[in-house]
Chain A
Amino acid sequence: MAQMQLVKCTVNGEYRETMVDVRASLTDMLRNDYSLTSVKKGCEVGECGACTVLVDGEAFNSCIYLAVWADGKNIRTLESLMGADGAISDIQQAFIDETAVQCGFCIPGFIVTTAEILETGKEYTRDELRKLLSGHLCRCTGYENILNAVEKVMKQRLGKA
């Protein structure tokens, strides 16, 4: 019989609770219980970064994070960046402007990590940004335009664009 456990957490600013199978990953919970399908199932072994979410402000691969560990945590996914009127964020706009998106599968993860990077309020060099983004694989773009987009939005937010 499945071992179930109550998980209470904040998901994208809203207090939520649900019974979760202890075998579920955080990816499973976010996709299946909360329909947050920006959280992609890619490699499912913590290598590709497509499932990246913020837990208490830090980026984690939700595929190798047990759903029950989310109890008491503040979880944010790509959906949390949406404006009140459904508008996209400046990060997403920069990705569009820099043609950083091709098939798009890896992009929610990249954008979540970008949100974590920008929340530090620091200015990073291009090499530092490369390292900060290195937990994501993209098979289409060759990364250059993604890097351009992240650099652009970082400068915009620091008032240096």
Chain B
Amino acid sequence: MYDLKALYEANSVQNAIELLSAHPEAKIIAGGSDVLVQMREGRLAGKELVSIFKLDELRGVSMDGDGTLRILPLTSFSHITRDPLIQAHINVLGEAVDMVGGPQIRNIGTIGGNTCNGVTSADSAATLHAYDAIMEITGPAGVRRVPIREFYISAGKVVLSHEELLTAILISKESYEGYKGHYIKYAMRNAMDIATLTCSVNVKLSADKKTIEDARIAYGVAGPVPMRTPSAEAAAKGKPVSAETIEAFGEAAKLDVNPRTSWRATKDFRLHLVGELAKRALKEAIKLNGGEA
């Protein structure tokens, strides 16, 4: 038995918003792989929950008329990895969420929960940042869209107000067309582990594959919230595909990050990883785009 005070099962998005408004202390539960564990640990013990688990209208991946990828928040990690639209347009996201926990966790954990809990180490976070995802939020006042770079406020805190919920993650066509990316999760174990550092890089090459037209990079655990490193992007954009560019990219990334020392790793080790993972991920991303690195 879980130590929960009451469970309110929402039957629509509108109903979920009403339930949240009526119960100011309630927490949202989606897949439950964070909430139920925290309830067991005592951190959320005795809380009321508004469950959105049964809202099947919030599951799946589709494409809008203008080519925007629409990822619904209750889509499980394993369904994202297997989704044909994800595989065709943003395969790196499917690869990234295939590194969450273990197989059973990937069947229950949702991409919405992964972002809304505001955790910097979340496996989807770096890639969604690197692709300029737009978070579509629904609340009592209607729908608003927030770029993911403004979505995270501080560790464990995002811009959602108590009555709001994430109803879609959007990736525009300009954001994914022509780009291919690579994600690296550095952790102590291959499964059932939380990242020491994560890095997601994607690039677009010129037609002759000799020049990096655009490069985007984002990290998890390089600071209290997931982040892009503009210095690294500037160091690669418009530059030739070469060992020097890759080196400069990794070094520049270190200028923008702010990792801390935790029981998992020291700040110095994380800084070293920031440079190293950037170089390895860029190299791999160039190869995926048909370039020679």
Contacts and interface: CB of A to CB of B under 8 A. Distances in A.
The answer to whether A and B interact is: yes
Interface of A: 3, 21-25, 28, 44-47, 49, 52, 58-61, 64-66, 68-69, 113, 131-136
B108 A64 contact: yes
Contact of A59 (B2, B37, B51, B103): B103
Contacts of A21: 1
7 contacts: A21-B1, A46-B105, A49-B104, A61-B104, A64-B36, A64-B108, A134-B192
Interface stretch (B3-11, B58-66, B214-222, B246-254): B3-11
A58 B77 CA distance: 13
A21 B6 CA distance: 10
B103 A113 contact: yes
A45 B7 contact: no
Interface size for chain B: under 10, 10 to 19, 20 to 34, or 35 or more residues? 20 to 34
A57 B67 CA distance: 32
A64 B32 CA distance: 7
A27 B37 CA distance: 14
Nearest to A112: B104
A132 B2 CA distance: 28
Nearest to B76: A58
Contacts of B3: 23
Contacts of B33: 46, 64
B191 interface: yes
A153 B101 CA distance: 26
A66 B7 contact: yes
Given A61-B105, A135-B104, A22 B7 contact: yes
Contact of B51 (A3, A23, A66): A66
Contacts of B101: 46, 135
Nearest to A49: B104
Given A22-B7, A134-B190, A66 B32 contact: yes
Interface in B141-181: none
B186 interface: no
Given A61-B108, A64-B33, A134 B2 contact: no
B4 A23 contact: yes
Most buried by A among B103, B104, B107, B190: B104
A46 B103 CA distance: 11
Contact of A3 (B6, B32, B53, B108): B6
Interface string B46-62: 00000101100000000
Given A22-B7, A45-B37, A132 B103 contact: yes
Contacts of A131: 103, 190-191
B1 A49 contact: no
B115 interface: no
Most buried by B among A46, A47, A131, A132: A46
Contacts of B1: 21, 23-25, 28
A46 B2 contact: no
B84 interface: no
Nearest to B41: A45
B7 A3 contact: yes
Contacts of A133: 103
Nearest to A55: B107
B40 interface: yes
Nearest to B79: A58
A64 B37 contact: yes
Most buried by B among A3, A21, A23: A23
A58 B40 contact: no
Nearest to B192: A47
A68 B7 contact: yes
Contact of B37 (A3, A46, A69): A46
Contact of A60 (B4, B9, B107): B107
B290 interface: no
B102 interface: yes
Contacts of A132: 103
Interface in B20-55: 32-33, 36-37, 40-41, 51, 53-54
Leading 3 A-B pairs by shortest Cβ distance: A135-B102, A134-B191, A22-B7
A134 B103 contact: yes
Nearest to A133: B103
